[in-house]
Amino acid sequence: MRNKPFLGISGVRCLHLTNEVSQDRHYVVGLIYLLLSLFTAPVFAQNEPRTIQDFNKNWRFHLGDEAKAKDVAFNDSDWRTLTLPHDWSIEGQFSEHHLSTTQEGALPTGIGWYRKAFTVPVSAKGKNVFIEFNGIYRNSEVWINGHSLGIRPYGYSSFRYELTKYLNVGNVKNILAVRVDNSAQPNSRWYTGSGIYRNVRLITTSPIAVDHWGTYVTTPAVTNQNASVTLQTSIRNAFGGRSDGKPQTVSINSVILDATGKEVATSISAAVRLLDTLSTVTQPFEVKNPILWSVDKPYLYKIVTRVYSQNQLVDTYETPLGIRYFKFDPATGFSLNGQSMKILGVCLHHDLGALGAAVNVRAIQRQLELLKAMGCNAVRTSHNPPTPEFLDLCDQMGFIVMDEAFDMWKKKKTKQDYGLNWDAWHKTDLEDMVRRDRNHPSIFMWSIGNEIREQFDSTGLTITKELAGIVKKLDSTRPVTSALTENVPEKNFIYRSGVLDLLGFNYKHEAYADFPKTFPNQSVLASETGSSLQTRGHYDMPSDSIRMWGKGGPTKFTDGNPDWTASAYDNEAAYWGSTHEQTWKVIKKYPHMAGLFIWTGFDYLGEPHPYPWPARSSYFGILDLAGFPKDVYYLYQSEWTDKPVLHLFPHWNWPKGKTVDVWAYYSQADEVELFLNEKSLGVRKKTGDELHVMWRVPYEPGTLKAISRKAGQTILTQTISTAGKPAKIQLVADRNILKADGKDLSFITVNVLDEQDNLIPDASHLITFNIQGEGELVGVDNGYQASLEPFKANYRKAYNGKCLAIIQTTEKAGKITVNATSEGLQSSTIELSSR
Ligand code: GAL
């Protein structure tokens, strides 16, 4: 990347140089100023003046309250040392004692303290120093050297504090102390985790620097030939939070780089006078023949902004840029870059299964990879702002994001929730979400709330207007929506406020057909669908009897199976929801439905509807908590991708003579023929709006074979054989070569097989892991919603033939050997390596 300083000299006219010719002219002008300045100005700064430091290491942690832990003199030498992000809840044991409702996952909560001692080099003198937290769950208070910097109740907001005026520079230690209070329960309807569960950074800047979340990029006009891009930059001029009152003059040079690092547009504003602490500068650009961002080709540019003061570079700041345009239309739904498409989304909560809420970028990336391979192109961050790395990945991987702020407003949903903080905090929290996230090209809509209780009374009118106003003031380029449940227009006060640009409706798929009449001239989508219930590898027959479960409420066992399972045939759902097929058929049919967000992509901790304890995680996922696909994953793959799919299920180990429903999802073929022990059981074709085919087969052991054909040609073949005796363990790593950065992960699937490599469909062997070399076992799981084994252990029982081990690298490159043993099974070892 070329560094082309433009040295601001007072009186220089503001230059907006956009085309190639004028850019060249700019180089010449810049060069002249540079040469002149060599005689008049101090030596050009060599180092980038902004430093961003990963601040996750060497924290001390203590579970429980400590009255004096904020004091510098407090002795924390017997506290545990750890690296953030950290979630103490996930380290605990499941217990009924941790339940205040069944919804938050039955793991411990409470109060925890973190402390970190650090020094700051003398070179930081005269600089501003900030600590940035991506999120602390919940009710945090932060102190530096005994001074309180502030509190933050909402566990999903990102924030920073300035440390400058309290900081010791040089060899004297500084102490950061953070108290986290997640003791008041229940405060959520799902598992939240507890602690500093997202990344922390230390930022050092010059007194004149781009402000926190200080840029805002928009693309006011985009065609295939040309994109106009506007960048607004807020420049802060203050030291230790205060301005010295002296006006300063700066010049700002921003360049747009394409994905290869080539400069494609420049904008210079010279001689900007900073009179106040905060000043805003607007820079326009033109990008010729832009490559547009889309879900299939998420092309990213980036803007690099350099701020010069008194001929010195005082700040460099990067802003992501994706160029795209889109529209929601009441009749035809959603279009991206002029092309009609459906939003094929899932809702996600933030936990990462066995890793809990503790952010790990690879774990999030794996989830998104699995969803992408299913054909999913969108995510709703239900029901809170996600960690910022999640949005970076969505930008890079091509997901359309509904960024959601709240699960409740002032009227709470659980006794101790954010409703209590609403009056004091909602404005700040909502503003911070939009400011933090508005440069992400992946974000297409802002949701101000999920199933908000105020939709049912007139307070909904005022609050909706206020919230939509807050969002629009900061970003008017995306629609404001809310996930609503009340679809009778007169009864829905959020809708009646008249300020929503897009209506999101949860469930009630029977109502979709009439939306153009019920909500004329309104763009609509299904913000939440399904809530169908499944346990991987479990099948309740007959598969065509649909059961709607859970009318008895979350604490009573009224219906379901005695072993807390649900059926993977897509024939069970929460009573307010639907099967996967029921809703997808309707969404598919009506062009006015812009898309859907299925509840949910992955199972999550908490909300084990319809079961009470000991069930402790949800059944709604298309993939289970360990990330293993349930059968319905292939339904979506067959509908949402162009690749040929053939997925045959269930397993083939049943009591002799039992009538078994055999299903196949298929695509890119006209028909499927099923054979049992080479004898044809007939050809089936999907007709009408059918999404699967089925054979009702009297069971006999042997091999089931399905062949999908198109115009008589075989497209795919799949066989399932009756498994014999459990014989061995198979280990399959999702990645064998890892980064030696202390963060990277390999997800290792453990399969229990017979001699012929058939999966044992009900195997529940206890598997023990032994890891050697430069790796560590950081989590185990098997996806069973009622397993009470801990996630942090060196063992796990298989569930329906499978379990998972998650290996994390150390910072030292080397070999990692993973060995798995179990009584009566041949053990298995695989080798990974980290670089
Ligand atoms: C919805 C709610 C979700 C989740 C889901 C379970 O009504 O918005 O957060 O609780 O039900 O079916």
How far does Cα 42 stand from its chain's mean position?
46
Q: Compute the distance from residue 123 Cα to the ligand 1 centre, in Å.
A: 52
**330-617 matches 645-650+652-721 in fold:** no
pLDDT of residue 45: 36
Q: Compute the distance from residue 835 Cα to the ligand 1 centre, in Å.
A: 42
Coil, strand, or helix at residue 168? coil
Coil, strand, or helix at residue 186? coil
Nearest-atom index, ligand 1, CA of 483: 8
Q: Which of 414, 599, 622 to mutate to test the pocket of ligand 1 (most atoms within 8 A of CB)?
A: 599
Nearest-atom index, ligand 1, CA of 383: 9
pLDDT of residue 47: 57
Please give the helix or strand (H or E) that residue 682 lies within, else none: strand 679-684
- In this structure, what token pair is assigned to residue 574? 């929460």
Ligand 1 pocket residues where CB is under 6 Å:
189, 450-451, 506, 528, 531, 574, 577, 599, 607
Q: Which of 191, 551, 607, 609 to mutate to test the pocket of ligand 1 (most atoms within 8 A of CB)?
A: 607
The catalytic position among 404, 451, 454, 639 is: 451
Q: Compute the distance from residue 383 Cα to the ligand 1 centre, in Å.
A: 10
- List the residue whose alpha carbon is closest to atom 12 of ligand 1: 531
H runs (alpha helix) in 556-707: 580-589, 632-640
| Residue whose C-alpha is closest to residue 176's, from 146, 136, 150 | 146
Calpha distance 433→579 (Å, rounded) = 33
φ and ψ at residue 14, rounded to 5 degrees: -65, 125
| Residue whose C-alpha is closest to residue 574's, from 605, 593, 553 | 553
Mean per-residue pLDDT pooled into runs of 10, the chain (835 residues): 29 26 37 38 51 97 97 98 98 92 87 98 94 98 98 98 97 97 97 98 97 98 96 96 88 97 92 88 97 98 96 96 98 98 98 98 98 98 98 98 98 97 98 98 98 97 98 98 97 98 98 98 98 98 96 80 97 97 98 98 97 95 98 98 98 97 98 98 98 98 98 98 98 98 98 98 98 98 98 98 98 98 98 98
Which CATH superfamily hosts domain 52-205?
Answer: Galactose-binding domain-like (2.60.120.260)
Strands 378-380 and 343-347: parallel
Residue range 728-834 forms a domain whose CATH class is mainly beta
Beta carbons of 582 and 509 less than 8 angstroms apart = yes
Calpha distance 778→808 (Å, rounded) = 6
Beta carbons of 356 and 605 less than 8 angstroms apart = yes
Calpha distance 103→240 (Å, rounded) = 44
Which are the contacts of 421, defined by CB distance < 8 A and separation ≥ 6? 153, 154
pLDDT of residue 555: 72
Long-range (24+ apart) CB contacts under 8 A made by 56-59 are 56/83, 56/84, 56/85, 56/199, 56/200, 57/83, 57/84, 58/83, 58/116, 58/117, 58/118, 59/83, 59/84, 59/86, 59/114, 59/115, 59/116, 59/196
Coil, strand, or helix at residue 668? coil
Nearest-atom index, ligand 1, CA of 576: 12
Let me know if 451 is a catalytic residue.
Answer: yes
Beta carbons of 450 and 189 less than 8 angstroms apart = no
- List the residue whose alpha carbon is closest to atom 11 of ligand 1: 531
Q: Compute the distance from residue 712 Cα to the ligand 1 centre, in Å.
A: 45
pLDDT of residue 21: 29
CATH code for the part of the protein at 6-49+207-326? 2.60.40.10
Calpha distance 146→123 (Å, rounded) = 23
Compute and round to an integer the Cα radius of gyration of the chain: 28
The structural domains of the chain, with segments of one domain joined by +, span: 6-49+207-326, 52-205, 330-617, 645-650+652-721, 728-834
CATH 3.30.360.10 assigned to 645-650+652-721: no
Q: Compute the distance from residue 433 Cα to the ligand 1 centre, in Å.
A: 22
Taken in order 421, 422, 423, 429, the sign of the CA dihedral is positive
Strands 480-484 and 443-450: parallel
The catalytic position among 104, 162, 528, 774 is: 528
Calpha distance 702→723 (Å, rounded) = 9
Give the full edge-to-edge strand order of the sheet including 170-182.
Answer: 80-82, 59-63, 110-120, 170-182, 140-144, 147-152
Q: Kindly report the CA angle at 334 between 331 and 336, in degrees rounded to 5?
A: 140
Coil, strand, or helix at residue 60? strand
Which are the contacts of 690, defined by CB distance < 8 A and separation ≥ 6? none
Calpha distance 527→707 (Å, rounded) = 37
Residue spans of beta strands (DSSP E) within 685-774: 693-698, 703-710, 713-721, 728-733, 737-738, 745-753, 766-773
Number of neighbours of residue 680 by Cβ within 10 angstroms: 11
Q: Compute the distance from residue 726 Cα to the ligand 1 centre, in Å.
A: 39
Residue type, 810: T
Calpha distance 161→157 (Å, rounded) = 13
Q: What is the DSSP letter of 560?
A: S
Calpha distance 33→815 (Å, rounded) = 54
Q: Which of 413, 505, 527, 528 to mutate to test the pocket of ligand 1 (most atoms within 8 A of CB)?
A: 528
Beta carbons of 481 and 446 less than 8 angstroms apart = yes
- In this structure, what token pair is assigned to residue 527? 């913000």
CATH of 330-617, one of 3.20.20.80, 3.40.50.10300, 3.30.70.100, 1.10.150.20: 3.20.20.80
Beta carbons of 709 and 589 less than 8 angstroms apart = no
Residue type, 774: E
- In this structure, what token pair is assigned to residue 375? 């054909």
- List the residue whose alpha carbon is closest to atom 6 of ligand 1: 531
Coil, strand, or helix at residue 319? strand
Coil, strand, or helix at residue 453? helix
Q: Compute the distance from residue 375 Cα to the ligand 1 centre, in Å.
A: 23
Residue spans of beta strands (DSSP E) within 348-462: 378-380, 400-404, 443-450
- List the residue whose alpha carbon is closest to atom 3 of ligand 1: 599
Beta carbons of 278 and 243 less than 8 angstroms apart = no
